[in-house]
Chain A
Amino acid sequence: MEDYLSNLERKSISLIREAKAQFRNMGVLWSTGKDSTATLWLCRKAFFGTIPFPVIHIDTSFKFPEIYEFRDRIAKEWNLDLVIAKNEEALKNGTSPEKGKLDCCTKLKTEALKNLIEKEGFDALILAIRRDEHGIRAKERYFSPRDEDFRWRYIDQPAELWDLYVKPSEDFSHMRVHPILHWTELDVWEYVRRENLPMNPLYLAKNGMRYRSLGCMPCTVPIPSNASTIDEITEELRTTTTPERAGRAQDKERAYMMQKLRSLGYM
């Protein structure tokens, strides 16, 4: 297992260094979840302990108190250049999950990030997505261009043969860099255990429930589980048939589809 994890780690670190060499103004997104925390750790390893670019946390203000506590503690311990993206205007206007989950996500996450990219002029962002999370993510590349509306044209992606990552010459606003794209959920937890990484306590079971994926409080539910240690989590993942995001996003996906079908003229 150690060789396997070391191989994953080696490739991820090389991707992070390649991105740093290619882009002049990069940032890394950190939700404080297991994937993005492992990615921060990889960034630290890539640059010998200090992350040489901003760490961006999108704050919807609807997150769990444990997330904010964990964020502030780790930012201090790891000496992070923490930048918080928050859409204050939308919050002032009353945007909240009760008034529409899709609208809430768009304004408090997507627009907050768009505003920050515009303000700070980021040309690349590191994200901790993985191919095994979702069918559509299986089509992702390590270097994935986005246009100014954050649109992703997966049919036009660079091929990435022989580990060559080519920047498209035009028609993109920023690059998404995915250094742990090739990892699985189990790989992440194995790595967390091997590296003894700090982890949000919400992942560990309490009274027969735990969070397997962390989001905003109103839109995330725990799953039944007795896994109260990292060892128990990895054991659980070897046998589970429940999707990772089962506790999340159903409502959001439903709302997204409803809006999409409207735009396509179905409703």
Chain B
Amino acid sequence: MIILALDALDQDLVEKYKCKNLMQMEHGQTDISDFELPRTVVLWASFLTGRNMEPEIPVKTQWEFKLHSAETFLRFFKRYVAIDVPAFSLKEKNHAEERTLLKKYFDEKVSVEDYDSLVWRNHEENKRDFFNSLGRFDLVIAYFDLADAVGHLSFGIPEKMSRVYRELEDIAREVKSSTNDLTLVISDHGMKPVGRFGDHSENGFYSLNHEWKLRLPKMTDFYQLIKQKV
């Protein structure tokens, strides 16, 4: 099984930019209305464990929060690799650097281009790790924060966002052409514009290359669904 965990992938933009490979055979929105705030670490932790982790993950220390594989659906797989997955295998240094630069941007010490280039560099690293892992594990789950990170500072700039969605669509296309494995594309939340900036919206996105006939699934539903399917 392959899981593309795409932070902030937004259904409206997937459809707007006609990303057919991201949409796969079945796609739709996920329901995250049970969560008070659409926080990245909380949502991915809840996706992995099948339960709402919001009360257990304080805002201040969320990036250090780590689950054990026994608490997650990863335990259903004999050989798995989790690339940069929040609450599990996050590349702390990369994300700490991104957050530092984000703060510097708001302090007017760096430009949005400086921030973007770091985000793209980290994205390329994850992409390399992901494609190197394909075909070698029962489960490959890879997290990409490109749409979220670029979107926070540039969601209102169509040229930038179309490039981001083209890139993610290319990854999905390459996955489709290289494997027939069950593939789930899932985001934690969508995004909505605040002028040129982007804020987390209250709906995530999912798609599958098999028909599961899901209707507005919750993030926490996937634990059981994956358990049943594998």
Contact = CB atoms under 8 A, between A and B. Distances in A.
Interface residues of B, number: 26
Interface string B160-199: 0000000000000000000000000000000011111101
A267 interface: yes
A48 interface: no
B156 interface: yes
Given A264-B40, A265-B41, A253 B197 contact: yes
Given A250-B195, A253-B194, A258 B41 contact: no
A253 B196 contact: yes
B39 A264 contact: yes
- Point out which of A153, A250, A260 has the most chain B C-beta atoms below 10 A from its C-beta: A260
A171 to B, nearest CB: 13
B154 to A, nearest CB: 11
A249 B195 contact: yes
Contacts of B106: 254, 257-258, 261, 267
Interface string B11-23: 0000000000000
A4 interface: no
Contacts of B75: none
A215 to B, nearest CB: 14
A267 B99 contact: yes
A217 to B, nearest CB: 20
A153 B156 CA distance: 21
Contacts of A241: none
B99 A266 contact: yes
B102 interface: yes
User: Helix, strand, loop or mixed for chain B's interface?
Assistant: mixed
Nearest to B29: A155
A155 B39 contact: no
B194 A256 contact: yes
Interface residues of A, number: 20
A267 B202 CA distance: 21
B103 interface: yes
- Point out which of B59, B194, B196, B199 has the most chain A C-beta atoms below 10 A from its C-beta: B194
A263 B37 contact: yes
B33 to A, nearest CB: 8
Contacts of B76: none
B115 to A, nearest CB: 12
B78 interface: no
B194 A264 contact: no
B103 A136 contact: no
Contacts of A155: 33, 202-203
A256 B196 CA distance: 12
B209 interface: no
A65 interface: no
Given A136-B193, A266-B99, 5 more contacts: A258-B106, A261-B106, A264-B39, A265-B40, A266-B152
Interface of A: 134-136, 153, 155, 245, 249-250, 253-254, 256-258, 260-261, 263-267
21 contacts: A134-B195, A135-B156, A135-B193, A136-B194, A245-B195, A250-B195, A250-B196, A256-B194, A260-B199, A263-B59, A264-B37, A264-B38, A264-B40, A264-B200, A265-B40, A265-B41, A265-B62, A265-B63, A266-B102, A266-B152, A267-B106
Interface of B: 33, 37-41, 59-60, 62-63, 99, 102-103, 106, 152, 156, 192-197, 199-200, 202-203
Q: Top 9 A-B pairs ranked by shortest CB distance? A: A253-B195, A135-B193, A257-B197, A265-B59, A258-B106, A267-B103, A265-B62, A253-B194, A264-B39
